[in-house]
């Protein structure tokens, strides 16, 4: 699977983007999903 490394990169980017969206842009997330 030559695309396997890219798969992990997409996961890391997704996690980082989710963290920034949760910290810097809380209005993008539903209030119910905020713990």
Residue 31's pLDDT band (cuts 50, 70, 90): low
Q: Give how far the C-alpha of residue 30 lies from the chain's centroid of Cα atoms, to the nearest Å.
A: 15
> Tell me, what DSSP letter sits at residue 18?
H
Give pLDDT, residue 18.
79
Residue 13 has pLDDT above 70, yes or no: yes
Q: Global pTM?
A: 0.44
Give pLDDT, residue 30.
59
Residue 32 has pLDDT above 60, yes or no: no
Q: How far is CA 18 from CA 12, 23, 32, 33, in A?
A: 10, 9, 16, 12
């Amino acid at each position: 699977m030559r695309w396997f490394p890219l798969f992990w990169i997409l996961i890391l980017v997704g996690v980082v983007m989710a963290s920034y969206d949760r910290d810097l842009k809380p209005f993008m997330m539903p209030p119910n999903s905020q713990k």
